[in-house]
């Protein structure tokens, strides 16, 4: 791993680490990112056209069907070695704040605590009209590969139930956004993992950390606008790069290897 001895030592001394994740961290668990082309029923759509309140108002069955198909994918998926490395890192540094843009619960299932979900959760549906929380029936939805239109259930007020996520044009949850901003302002190290850094306002967080003098590290197999701005750019899939980073800097590899042998977890690379 190409990190100077000086930087390694500074990373090791970090009191507060922020880990900021995007869809790329769940890619190796089989969850498509927002840059992947949609397939089946949704192949002529762009995720940006479906993830809006307008789309849900105009075509609730198309949008609800998409979310039920994605909820099935999430419930069937297992955390991968990147999720597990992040959970391990939490035990190795004095303070860690995990901020995710993801609506899945793979960080929690990997053992991370107090995850700040900036874009909500696919598991917390609520009423589109009165915002009353709703509950999904137990079990994993069974949806055809190519997807299907599905009428959303109704609230007792008569309104349609919608997924508990933050769509384009909607504000981020106040508490999570404010905690994420505070953490970006206060941290010593900011890790940016598997995000295109295109969607605002979340994409501002790495810049906030940079402006406050934090060391910034990016892990992504593809180029982003942060490549030339971060302190350390580590190109590659998070499931391979992150366990190696945690091992090299914080010495968490031994237990990490144990953790990645959990059923369904992607395998850890050799150091
Ligand atoms: C790997 C990998 C591997 C692959 N390992 N990496 C300023 C300028 C322009 C526009 C705006 C602006 N401010 C606001 C806007 C509008 C808008 C916006 O940002 N639009 C952009 C298109 C430009 N923002 C909003 O509307 C936000 N709300 C808002 O601003 O409200 C203001 C307001 C205030 C008061 C009242 C009312 C309004 C809300 C944004 C909500 C985003 N929601 C979504 C959908 C969630 C629901 C769902 O899941 O369906 O969140 S959009 C989608 O993008 C999702 C993600 O969380 C988010 C971020 O994407 P992410 O995670 O970066 O994923 P990808 O797919 O983009 O990238 C994946 C990356 O992984 C790639 O880089 C790969 O290379 C990499 N990768 N394999 C590591 N193995
Ligand atoms: Zn209602």
For 14-62, the DSSP string reads -SEEEEEE-THHHHTTT---SSSPP-GGGTT--HHHHSSHHHHHH-HHH
Please identify every residue whose CB atom is under 5 Å from ligand 2, which is an ion.
Answer: 127, 129-130, 132, 155, 157, 159
Specify whether the CB–CB gap between 56 and 63 falls below 8 A: yes
User: Rounded distance, CA 65 to CA 149, Å?
Assistant: 5
pLDDT for 259: 41
Residue 265 vs residue 112, higher pLDDT: 112
Nearest to 231 by CA among 188, 180, 201: 188
pLDDT for 180: 98
Global pTM reads: 0.94
pLDDT for 255: 42
User: Rounded distance, CA 4 to CA 59, Å?
Assistant: 53
Nearest to 87 by CA among 117, 113, 116: 113
Band (pLDDT 50/70/90 cuts) for residue 257 is very low
User: Rounded distance, CA 11 to CA 247, Å?
Assistant: 12
How much is the average pLDDT of 170-182? Answer: 98
Share of the chain above pLDDT 70, in %: 93
Site to probe by mutation for ligand 1, drawn from 19, 20, 21, 23 as the one with most ligand atoms within 8 Å of Cβ, is: 23
Band (pLDDT 50/70/90 cuts) for residue 264 is very low
How much is the average pLDDT of 50-74? Answer: 97
State if residue 37 touches ligand 1 by the CB under 6 angstroms criterion. Answer: no
User: Rounded distance, CA 147 to CA 51, Å?
Assistant: 16
Specify whether the CB–CB gap between 168 and 52 falls below 8 A: yes
pLDDT at 69 over 50: yes
User: Rounded distance, CA 205 to CA 197, Å?
Assistant: 9
State if residue 260 touches ligand 1 by the CB under 6 angstroms criterion. Answer: no
User: Rounded distance, CA 55 to CA 47, Å?
Assistant: 11
pLDDT for 267: 37
State if residue 166 touches ligand 1 by the CB under 6 angstroms criterion. Answer: yes
Band (pLDDT 50/70/90 cuts) for residue 252 is low
pLDDT at 220 over 50: yes
pLDDT at 253 over 80: no
Structure tokens at 198: 């295109």
- Of 33-42, 44-53, 144-153, the poorest mean pLDDT is in 33-42
Nearest to 219 by CA among 190, 188, 259: 190
Structure tokens at 109: 């299932």
pLDDT for 37: 85
pLDDT for 41: 84
How much is the average pLDDT of 94-114? Answer: 98
**pLDDT tens, position by position, 126-154:** 999 999 999 999 999 999 999 999 999 99
pLDDT for 266: 38
User: Rounded distance, CA 22 to CA 193, Å?
Assistant: 6
pLDDT for 57: 97
The closest ligand to the CA of 153 turns out to be 2
Share of the chain above pLDDT 90, in %: 86
Specify whether the CB–CB gap between 122 and 165 falls below 8 A: yes
């Amino acid at each position: 791993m190409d990190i100077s001895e000086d930087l390694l030592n500074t990373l090791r001394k970090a009191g507060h680490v922020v880990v900021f994740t995007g869809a790329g961290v769940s890619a190796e668990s089989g969850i498509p990112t927002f840059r992947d082309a949609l397939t089946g029923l949704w192949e002529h759509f762009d995720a940006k056209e479906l993830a809006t309140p307008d789309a849900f108002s105009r075509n609730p069955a198309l949008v609800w069907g998409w979310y039920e198909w994605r909820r099935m994918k999430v419930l069937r998926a297992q955390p991968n070695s990147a999720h597990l490395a992040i959970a391990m890192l939490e035990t190795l540094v004095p303070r860690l704040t995990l901020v995710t843009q993801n609506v899945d619960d793979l960080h929690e299932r990997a053992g991370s605590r107090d995850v700040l979900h900036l874009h909500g959760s696919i598991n917390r549906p609520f009423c589109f009209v009165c915002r009353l929380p709703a509950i999904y029936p137990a079990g994993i939805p069974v949806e055809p590969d190519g997807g299907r239109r599905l009428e959303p259930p109704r609230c007792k007020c008569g309104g349609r139930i919608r997924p508990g996520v933050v769509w384009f044009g909607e504000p981020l949850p106040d508490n999570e956004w404010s905690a994420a901003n505070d953490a970006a302002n206060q941290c010593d190290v900011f890790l940016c993992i598997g995000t295109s850094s295109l969607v605002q306002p979340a994409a501002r967080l790495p810049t906030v950390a940079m402006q406050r003098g934090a060391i910034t590290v990016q892990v992504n197999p593809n180029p982003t606008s942060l490549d030339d701005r971060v302190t350390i750019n580590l190109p590659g899939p998070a499931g391979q790069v992150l366990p190696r980073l945690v091992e090299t800097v914080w010495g968490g590899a031994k237990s990490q290897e144990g953790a990645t042998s959990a059923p369904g977890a992607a395998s850890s690379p050799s150091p």
